[in-house]
Amino acid sequence: MTLKAQASSDAKTWAQEKLSQMTLEEKVLLLCGQDLWRTNPIPRLGVSRIKTSDGPVGVRGGIFTDGVSAASLPTGVSLASTWDKEVMRDVCQVLISEAKSKEVDVLLGPTVCIPRTPLGGRNFEAYSEDPFLTGKLAAEFINSIQGAGIGACIKHFVANDQETRRFFIDEKIPDRALREIALQPFQIAIRDSNPWTLMTAYNKVNGVFCSAHDFLLQEVLRNEWQWDGLAMSDWFGTNSVVPSLKAGLDLEMPGPIRRRGQHLIEAHNQGLVDLAYIDTSASRVLELLHKTGKSVVPDWQEGQEKADDLPEHRAILRRAGGEGIVLLKNSANALPLSDLNGKTIAVLGPNANRSVSTGGGSSNLAPHYRTTPYDSLKTEVASKFPTAKVQTHAGILNHRYLPLVDPAIMQDPESGSSGFVISLWRNMTHEGQPFMVENRPSSNLVCYDGLPPELTTGERYSYRGRATITPKTSGLHEFSLSSCGPGKLVLDGEVIIEIDRHWWSPKSALFMSYGSPEERVQVQMEAGRKYDLLLESVSREPKPYDLDYLSAELEREEVQDGGRIGFLENPGNLDAFFQEAIDMASESDIAVVVVGKDHEWETETSDMVSMDLPGRSNEFIAAVAKANPNTIVVNQTGSPITMPWIDDVSTIIQAWYQGQEQGNCLADVLLGAVNPSGKLPITFPQRIEDTASFDNYPGENDIVHYGEGIFAGYRYLDHRKIKPLFPFGFGLSYTTFEYRNIRLSSDLLSGDGQIEVEVDVTNTGSREGKEAVQFYISQVNPRLSRPPRELKGWDKVFVRPGETVTARAVLDKVSVSYWDDGLDKWVMEGNAEFHVIAAQNSRDDGVAATFHSGEEYQWVN
């Protein structure tokens, strides 16, 4: 018996022993969360609890808002851009250390849903539009995390690829598209790594919510793929009592209990659900406890979370960020920057002098520290070129919502520290003594973390947030408010904004879209004067609904409360502000324009409205390029953008969101300390109309049809012969590479066999570099329609100038099979002809070899 098999056997034995001692009530208690992040313990039997935490790009810990700081990693799309499994393993060592410092047992990641549209709000979290690349990278992540005894949670099963109406949308996905695109990354990762947990998606697939989808959870996941881990709901994503349990959803998250608990006990007592279903799911929770080492920790009390900012972690994240940055254009060889002594570099744009570490939503967290492009470039230039000058100017504003109040100008009137004091009452009238008073360091006053359970499951309450505001300048300043329940914003005793009803709006500035649209007001204020700012509000009114134990579509509850206060001091004449930056560009030798989006524009709960950069960004880039021919554009987004100025600039960098090392890794690439080797894991189309989902997104009447079928991402553009702006797999280097001499270990592939493909890669440039060699498969005259080529392997190699190395990949049944919806099986056609192409990107001709399949081979897992 292997060590993994023995560990699994030990976990099952321990789970059954504990289960045999439990009452029905205790078993049911295991099937739902205790609070926002933890499962329920059973103290009587010494059964501890499991602590979960977001997520794939950092371990936030047990507090969603205003918790201890954490290492902020490059986002998923940037990690995928490295095409480097070693980088993934190194980054996971940071996550492992961070999880241990916060006593986290299960990390809620990786995110492996396939970005279907460039407008997807969570695209930055995911790896790639390609299922093979996604699945293989996810397996590397899972194996690394679980090798340290921490559970990984692969998510979101399945096709959580749009935020628009995500709690209600019904995705009509054809069988082949479901298998070859949506399910395949999960199938690959589960086969290669066996994640201990899996999270279901919010949406429906073909009429059924994923949290109660018997076909997906039972037939595919457990029967076909033989997966035996724990399936949990996405947060507040359990849509039923009995159907979800019978379908195989083991754990309702988060707590306190909503769908299960006493409801499930009553359903069992009424004969609506057999005890065997309860026992099966309870045993999986117990097995997970054993796998994470909690079976020998009968004390379920936790220590204090720690913020461990370690030098070795900084180095890993700086390297990972640099390897993910993609050089898209360098036609004038402006990069790397050199001979800068005596020269002036202008770092311009809305993202030039601020930290844009990640997108928004559940993957957002408070980094240990922040870096900016301007600060990092200035520091590195000063150390190498002491007579060079680096200056900066934003030029434009591009915030989606008013910024949160600057911590430097706000003061908690009770503690004297920066921030707000928030007080909460167990009534709706702010009367008597508050039951909780605490400092909040920001003006994002979310009411959820730390509240008593009854206040997050229905009992209403009221709250006040107070701060003293001291503006730096005089003028007409602007305040904003988004609030979940009725509330008012009061400045020096005068109500300046009032929200008079409950809201649940997709235009809210609050996370989870539970608040009102942002309301704004302008107020005349004096510099240096102290103003009393008060937010007074009440919690939302819970929705009444009839609880039917057998219903598969219970009405969704609204659970989060709070308010968000924005404040912007008068920026003055914005046209003059714009022109100041253009003047700086014209007076400088080099202009580096840093544009993009941020956690407000790209975020969970909200899709983007356009592929365009926000505000006046495109106008600004064009104006800078006209003023300075040596203009370098740096784009920070997690999704493709339009580039109407592409012919006006010689140099373009796709920098993604790089976490806390954002500025440093960008400076490394600009100055040549790192030779860029990132390659796009997503296609950059020229326009939104060229994308596969354009005619079928975001759907109508809460139904969206996946009309593109299997032709997702680059497959669609190849199929329709549409030229992309930048193809999938594209990325330049400061050196050049040549491919030749492709060869195969055999020209015949059997169903249970393998073929090794090799190609020689020569560095024909003047400096060492890394190259991600991609292997695409193309079938000649397939029986069913197939994409012209599909990625089925890659190898990232390091090559010195003039050196030749060999890149390798292994081809097998997965490389050549398609899903035959007539047979409900994967099929490798018999005696079929295939080409394998070693290429630099999906549109590169590369070098090719031919092989054939043996007898027809059909398979399922």
Q: Please report which helix (H) or strand (E) contains residue 787, including its range.
A: none
Q: Structure tokens of 556? A: 């969704």
**What three-state secondary structure class fits 801?**
coil
Residue 651 phi/psi, 5° resolution? -135, 125
Buried/exposed code over 154-192 (b: 16+ C-beta within 10 A; e: otherwise): bbbbbbbbbbbbbbebbbbbbebbbbbbbbbbbbbbbee
Q: Are strands 410-411 and 462-469 parallel, antiparallel or unpaired?
A: antiparallel
What is d(CA 147, CA 104) in angstroms, rounded to the nearest whole number? 15
- The residues near 647 (Cβ < 8 Å, ≥ 6 apart) are none
Active-site residue 234, yes or no?
yes
Is residue 650 within 8 Å of 329, Cβ to Cβ? yes
Contacts 24+ apart (CB under 8 A), 17-24: 18/42, 18/45, 18/47, 18/286, 19/279, 19/282, 19/283, 19/286, 21/45, 22/282, 24/265, 24/268, 24/275, 24/278
Distances (CA, A) of 709 to 104, 117, 648, 778, 787: 39, 14, 37, 18, 11
What is d(CA 768, CA 675) in angstroms, rounded to the nearest whole number? 8
Buried/exposed code over 795-830 (b: 16+ C-beta within 10 A; e: otherwise): bbbebeeeeebebebebbbbbbbbbbeeeeebbbbe
What is d(CA 820, CA 801) in angstroms, rounded to the nearest whole number? 47
Q: What is the DSSP string of 501-542?
A: S----TTBSSGGG-SPBPEEEEEEE-TT--EEEEEEEEPPPP
What is d(CA 489, CA 467) in angstroms, rounded to the nearest whole number? 12
> Which one is catalytic: 161, 234, 250, 375?
234
What is the rounded (10 degree) CA torsion for 633, 638, 642, 645? 0
CB atoms within 10 A of CB 265: 17
**What three-state secondary structure class fits 6?**
helix
Among 653, 715, 647, 724, which Cα is nearest to 688's? 724
- Tell whether omega for the bond before 403 is within 30 degrees of 0, i.e. cis: no
Is residue 48 within 8 Å of 94, Cβ to Cβ? no
- C-alpha R_g of the chain: 27
Q: Structure tokens of 787? A: 């994409």
What is d(CA 341, CA 334) in angstroms, rounded to the nearest whole number? 16
**What three-state secondary structure class fits 63?**
coil
Is residue 82 within 8 Å of 137, Cβ to Cβ? no
Q: Is 5 exposed, middle or buried (0-12, 13-18, 19+ CB in 10 A)?
A: exposed
What is d(CA 305, CA 270) in angstroms, rounded to the nearest whole number? 44
Q: Structure tokens of 343? A: 């020269």
- The residues near 406 (Cβ < 8 Å, ≥ 6 apart) are 567
What is d(CA 613, CA 595) in angstroms, rounded to the nearest whole number? 8
Is residue 714 within 8 Å of 736, Cβ to Cβ? no
Encode 379-444 in three state secondary structure.
Answer: HHHHHHCCCCEEEEECCCCCCCCCCECCHHHEECCCCCCCCEEEEEECCCCCCCCCCEEEEECCCE
- The residues near 140 (Cβ < 8 Å, ≥ 6 apart) are 85, 88, 89, 92, 193
The residues carrying an active-site annotation are: 234
